Amino acid sequence: MPPTRVPVTDRSAPAPDRSRRRLPRRNLGRLTAFTLLPALLLAGCGPAPAPSPTPTTYTCTPEAGGDAYPCTAEEHAAMVALDALYDEAETVYRRHMTEVFRLSSHWELAEVTPEIEATAAGPYLERMTQLIAANREDRIDRVSGEPEIGWVKRLPGKSLGGSIVALWTCVDGSSGISRTLDSANGKPGIIGQNRIYLRRIDGALKLWESEVKLVESC
């Protein structure tokens, strides 16, 4: 039996290039670093965290005036509503007195006008109606000077006849001279401090009650 021939390896063939399969350790480290770099850059460019919201703080001032103090949102809302009510009351009062000053300038103008009825009601309107009638009967005629409102202030904690807001005012008529049937030469006007109480009637704020005190000056 002939002997088996073992194939002879051709040692002249080139050896396989193992450099493509495995990188040197130093190159592997560089590859890992470059692979992680984009992730690090992306992490650094992300949106900044939103800042925590700053709590809202409120301050209030006393109804009668004074220094401000910290308060709750509910207390602040109540203060704003009360301020608006006082502003509305003063606007109605000044509107009413403008018409009263006009009517008191001459007896022929003395009548209850729509403007008086739009700003007054209840007991106040009843007394104003009587006063207007008396001025017409006495033929009051202002010959010089003009009455003016000296000041208007808040009157906290006061109510009369179901009023919802009150004002303290001063009207100075001392510069005016008026003639009547009984005083042909005229007589000076008066100065009065008034407590004015207002109610809301059919949605409109109106003068409802008043208290008057004569004074020497506003």
**Structure-token pair, residue 61:** 């001032």
Across 174-198, average pLDDT:
90
Domain regions of the chain by residue span: 68-214
Q: Please tell me the predicted confidence (pLDDT) of residue 1.
A: 47
| pLDDT tens sequence across 140-180 | 899 888 999 999 999 999 999 999 999 999 999 998 899 88
d(CA 210, CA 168): 10
Instruction: Assign 22 to helix, strand or coil.
Output: coil
Q: Is the pLDDT of residue 111 over 80?
A: yes
Question: Looking at the chain, which runs of residues are DSSP E strands?
Answer: 58-60, 69-71, 141-144, 148-154, 165-172, 177-179, 187-188, 191-201, 204-214
68-214 classified as CATH 3.10.450.50: yes
Q: Which of 165, 152, 168 is nearest to 200 (CA)?
A: 165
**Structure-token pair, residue 64:** 């009668």
63 phi, psi to nearest 5 deg: -60, -35
Mean pLDDT of the chain, nearest integer:
83
Q: Please tell me the predicted confidence (pLDDT) of residue 112.
A: 96
pTM confidence score = 0.74
> What are the angstrom distances between the C-alpha of 190 and each of 88, 163, 217?
27, 27, 9
